[in-house]
Structure 1
Amino acid sequence: MKIKIILIIAVAATLVSCQRQGSSDIDSTAYLEEITIKQLQDGYREKRFTVEKVVNDYLKRIELLDKEGPCLNSVIAINPDAIKIAKELDEELAQGKVRGPLHGIPVILKDNIDTRDSMPTTAGATVLRNSFVGRDSWIAAKLREAGAVIIAKANLSEWANFRASRSSSGWSGVGGQTRNPYELDRNPCGSSSGSGVAVSANLCAFAIGTETDGSIMCPSNNNGIVGLKPTVGLISRSGIIPISFTQDTPGPMCRSVSDVAYCLGAMVGPDPNDPKTLDPNARFYNDYTQFLRLDGLMGKRIGFITNASGFHHKVDTLMSKAISDLRRFGAEVFEVSLPIPQEVNSAEFQVLLYEFKDGLNRYFASLGEKAPVKSLEELISFNRTDTIELRHFNQHLLELAQGKGDLNSPEYIKALETMQKGIRQNGIDKVMDENKLDLLIIPTGSPAWKTDLILGDNYIGGNTSYAAMAGYPSITVPMGNIDGLPVGISFIGRAWCESTLIEAAYSYEQGTKHRIKPKLMK
């Protein structure tokens, strides 16, 4: 079989200028703009369009908006089998077979997620440019079984943004710089940059991102979409290039809370290859749409973490309005303080360094004899001689990780205990217990900053570390915009409370409807 891989941006390029193509082709795909999973299913059932047509039109949008058009650079590779898979799913529909709500629904996966399709899994790194693993990750297999069509792989911050002392989110050696669809010179945030941009620009029905600390939440904020970071262990990490065994999780990125609920049930469940999914306290649901309640905020006790605000006066204004809306929809909102002690932040950094070395070496080993490098040490050596990898940014974090020992190190064990006790028992759990809270809220982040390949990212606020370090779930929903740039509100809960998060987020979303579609005119 001839392998056809479309690289959306030349590796020698970063921010490139493109010419907008004619509008007639893109106009023919306008029915896909802001379409929901339910609306797609209704269209299939009523025979208004086929899976093949929908997949083909999403691929057309990728070609015109991502490769040409405004050059979003959110996609690294197209699945050459996508149309074939779509035809097979149309045949099933013709025979009366419907696998479920994701039957025929196009999805894009972040390119650190293994698939057996003829696409490499690169983590954005040139060393893995030709790494065809020939196997499905847990999440790819579950989505495929549910009838979803994996149409492409998304660009990302290289190595999920755990590489350099400074970086530009959305830049990778393979994919170049992903661009924000609201203003092309603005940053999409990372590391699930391409996933966030592709969803926002309507290049797919939904996407999968991964998060260690902020990599679903921040790009969802900057790109005006809904992103769910589940409890660590709700969705298996098997077959995903890792950073942290303790904090990593995949999660859905969608344009609506209802779409999050539709796709979440297809991906959850225990996996013997991922011990985190075998937690006896785990709560898995095959159908999360049961929690889409318009009155989902009624009676909820919510704590507003005040020390996570104050970084931008216009964000504060939107947050004040959001709190008024939450109260209007029946919630009680209380001000709470939850600072993260410096020793907890420092402990997290040590945990990530140790677990990254261990996890990456294990992943390279899983590639067998065809692995382009066999260890983190070999990766560092490769980058030093590569013409692309160190052009803009260093590999300081890789080098720090390489200097660490194994997971039996007393330093690692102590850091893990310090982090988890500090953020759980002495942090989130304590505040929620003392105030009898159902949820916590914070502003997810600031408006998107301008992309800068010299100075790197310019984060000014927001805090994704609460849920990330605890391994607890969080969901972000648009709460308004600042001069056309979206910002979100995050709902945070205890482990396995995705149902509560969905109730609250759906009620807030439906009562406010702050999602704005990017115009994609520049």
Structure 2
Amino acid sequence: MLLEISARKPFHCEPCRQPSEENSNTPHHGVVLIAAGAGIFSLVKAEGLPPYPLAEPDYSSKRQLDFSAFEAALSGLDPNRIAVMDTLVAEVTLLELQVLMNNGQFSAEELVTYYVQRIRAYDMDKLNSVLELNPEALAFARDLDVERAAGTVRSPMHGIPVLFKDNIATGEGMHTTAGAWAMRDWQPSRDAFLVSQLREAGAIVLGKTNLSEWANYMDVDMPNGFSVLGGQTRNPYGPYGTLGSSSGSAVAAAANFAAVTVGTETQGSIILPAKINGVVGLKTSRGLVSRDHILPLVDWMDVPGPIGRTVSDVAVMLSAMTDEDEKDLVTFDAVEVAGTDYTQFLVAENAVGKKLGIVVQDNAFIDQMIADFELGEDSASQFRQAMIQSNDKVRMQATPFVDIGIELVEVSAAAMPSTPDLSAFIDYGFRSALDAFLTDLSDEAPVRSLAEIVDINSADSDNRAPYGQGYLESAMKSPLTPDEYAAQVAESMSVADDLGSLFEAYALDVLLSDSQIYAATGFPALTVPAGYGEDGQPEGIILIGDFLGEDNLIIIGYAYEQATQARQMPDLDKTISEIDSMVNR
């Protein structure tokens, strides 16, 4: 039940395009304010916005995938072998892939070829989740196969193909673009620190994933999942949104175009795409994984994190990603857990006795909200009923945790800290961070500033910014001074103390909540598939952990996943046929 409220107090909509639980296809702007669950105001779609799936705009800048380095290998992968690989690889975990490769069922080279074959069959000009393939992937795979044959397996990531979001720098001739035309030719001279770590652990850089351009900060009218170089990313489960900005990373993992992927998040950009595309996504604690050489949005909030089909895969990936990095001094805040093997927390029984907080609207909170919005008698009655139903829904969602043996702790919505309003400072933060990043590149930089990017787009906006570049232009006009920005950041980051106090006051291990309060605090969050709606759209639960509390997130998330077994493979043939029929009619 939704109750539309006429907002009598100022309401600042957040440019991250937070979706509502009720309609998560929704672009952020052009919305009405509603009363939603967990005491949090959410957003629903206003009339007149285009539904998903969206057709490609009429433009000419989309980059085509290059399969030339893989043609010989692909020609040797006949349909019978593909069918065998489908059976062997579908839905298995990274740990199970290691067993299969150790047993000689297939090699890393064949695994790379298999994924490339799937990308060519189901992604190119279809789901649009992959922006570029690494022409050196097969060579790296062969070297790792030689190591395995000689008895050396570096880690559970050995020989595992990984796709990286295309704002994470990768060297060796690949591009890193953030999906933007102005960045189309940048070939970083080195890897981001996290990419180097995964390579050292034996991972294979398979390629780069599409994203919502500039981490979803291009224009209010640009759909989630679109970039001018990658086109419109589409949900592998059907005509639903993909959300953003790590759209391609979530879709590629869900569709089995790679074993695992890496995304980045400012606020919701890993968790929400993973949730709506039916996979597991982990937004890491700030400092746990290095942010080095990643194109920024709001640099003090941005963090990378793993996306996979299972909690097990995310734990394996995370174990290879954490370490101190002198190029990102915030990683020294996580020194106590650097190098942790997170697979040790994949024990469902360890969840018994853990405390899970659920956010409910008690009577005092409901009365206060009614007073704040000056609701009349009839509206107040409807609002109260909606909040009671919301509480029932939250308690129902928590039932599987009770069955596992986890203790539920009801947290008053009044105790939840308010999510900081990014719109007050995101323009300045984006411009400042991006300009600093480009300056640090020196002669390697493809462009020198955000101002230059805006000018380049304006020279051919139909093909370089087909939905406009309103956010970029707005960022150029930010009136904030450096001191004012620093004050805004400090105020937003102080919410971490409030959230930490909440965990302490209620003695929580994990909080079950759709709130994005975790983002500004630097706390971690995990989403795990929870099933599918009546229309087939994937659904998921979101767990928030205490700072550096990834261990508890993995323990509880894994126990939930094992108890529910909610994830199902998408039927890509059916989805692509359905989407084609809708966008071409």
TM-score by length of 1: 0.86
> What's the counterpart of residue 33 of structure 1?
90
Describe the shift of the 1:143–1:11 C-alpha distance in structure 2 as closer, same or farther (beyond 3 A). farther
Q: How far off is 1:224 after superposition?
A: 0.4
Q: Distance in 1 between matches of 2:124 and 2:386?
A: 35
Q: Distance in 1 between matches of 2:528 and 2:257?
A: 19
1:63-119 Cα deviation digits (max 9, x unpaired): 101116xx1110010100111111111111111111111000011000001111322
1:451-502 Cα deviation digits (max 9, x unpaired): xxxxxxxxxxx43x21111110010101121022111111111111111111
Deviates more, 1:294-303 or 1:168-177: 294-303
Q: Distance in 1 between matches of 2:352 and 2:469?
A: 48
Q: Specify the SS of the correspondent of 1:345.
A: coil
Once the two structures are superposed, the pairs formed by residues 36-115 of structure 1 within 5 Å of their partners are 36-67=93-124, 71-115=126-170
Q: How far off is 1:303 after superposition?
A: 1.2
Aligned equivalent of 2:404, options 329, 338, 351: 329
Q: Distance in 2 between matches of 1:492 and 1:399?
A: 34
In structure 2, give the amino acid aligned to 1:419.
S
Q: How far off is 1:314 after superposition?
A: 11
Aligned residues of 2:180 and 2:227 also touching (Cα < 8 A): yes
Q: Distance in 1 between matches of 2:210 and 2:279?
A: 17
Q: How far off is 1:516 after superposition?
A: 1.3
Once the two structures are superposed, the pairs formed by residues 88-167 of structure 1 within 5 Å of their partners are 88-167=143-222
> What's the counterpart of residue 485 of structure 1?
537
Unaligned runs of 5+ in 2: 1-55, 63-77, 366-382, 578-585
Aligned equivalent of 1:381, options 427, 431, 455: 455
Aligned residues of 1:208 and 1:253 also touching (Cα < 8 A): yes
Aligned equivalent of 1:416, options 483, 486, 489: 489
Q: Distance in 1 between matches of 2:123 and 2:314?
A: 24
Aligned equivalent of 2:232, options 173, 177, 193: 177
Deviates more, 1:470-479 or 1:390-399: 390-399
Q: Distance in 1 between matches of 2:207 and 2:89?
A: 17
Once the two structures are superposed, the pairs formed by residues 60-459 of structure 1 within 5 Å of their partners are 60-67=117-124, 71-183=126-238, 185-279=239-333, 282-306=336-360, 319-338=394-413, 345-346=420-421, 348-388=422-462, 391-404=465-478, 409-421=482-494, 423-426=495-498, 428-442=499-513
Q: How far off is 1:48 after superposition?
A: 1.1
Q: Specify the SS of the correspondent of 1:364.
A: helix
Q: Specify the SS of the correspondent of 2:527.
A: strand
Q: Distance in 1 between matches of 2:331 and 2:546?
A: 16
Q: Distance in 2 between matches of 1:210 and 1:495?
A: 18
Q: How far off is 1:386 after superposition?
A: 2.4
TM-align CA RMSD: 2.8
Confirm or deny that 1:501 pairs with 2:548.
no
Q: Specify the SS of the correspondent of 2:131.
A: strand
Describe the shift of the 1:89–1:343 C-alpha distance in structure 2 as closer, same or farther (beyond 3 A). closer
- The count of residues paired between Structure 1 and Structure 2 equals 481
Confirm or deny that 1:12 pairs with 2:68.
no
Q: Distance in 2 between matches of 1:92 and 1:108?
A: 22
Q: How far off is 1:227 after superposition?
A: 0.4
1:340-398 Cα deviation digits (max 9, x unpaired): 9998533x333433322222112212333343320011111111112446654232222
1:2-52 Cα deviation digits (max 9, x unpaired): xxxxxx9996389xxxxxxx9868535413211211111001111111111
> What's the counterpart of residue 39 of structure 2?
none
Q: Distance in 1 between matches of 2:571 and 2:61?
A: 24
Aligned residues of 2:168 and 2:295 also touching (Cα < 8 A): yes
* Higher fraction of helix: 2
Aligned residues of 1:318 and 1:479 also touching (Cα < 8 A): no
Aligned residues of 1:109 and 1:153 also touching (Cα < 8 A): yes
In structure 2, give the amino acid aligned to 1:81.
E
Q: How far off is 1:399 after superposition?
A: 2.3
Q: Distance in 1 between matches of 2:303 and 2:193?
A: 12
Q: Distance in 1 between matches of 2:548 and 2:202?
A: 26
Describe the shift of the 1:411–1:261 C-alpha distance in structure 2 as closer, same or farther (beyond 3 A). same
Q: Distance in 2 between matches of 1:282 and 1:343?
A: 29
Aligned residues of 1:170 and 1:188 also touching (Cα < 8 A): yes
Q: Distance in 2 between matches of 1:316 and 1:223?
A: 26
* Structure having the higher Rg: 2
Q: Distance in 2 between matches of 1:396 and 1:311?
A: 36
Describe the shift of the 1:65–1:311 C-alpha distance in structure 2 as closer, same or farther (beyond 3 A). farther
Q: How far off is 1:517 after superposition?
A: 0.9
Aligned residues of 1:108 and 1:150 also touching (Cα < 8 A): yes
In structure 2, give the amino acid aligned to 1:322.
Q
In structure 1, give the amino acid aligned to 2:485.
Y
Q: How far off is 1:241 after superposition?
A: 0.4
In structure 2, give the amino acid aligned to 1:425.
D
Aligned residues of 1:9 and 1:67 also touching (Cα < 8 A): no
TM-score by length of 2: 0.77
Aligned residues of 1:350 and 1:412 also touching (Cα < 8 A): no
1:216-263 Cα deviation digits (max 9, x unpaired): 001111110000001011000101101122211100000001111111
Q: Specify the SS of the correspondent of 2:323.
A: coil
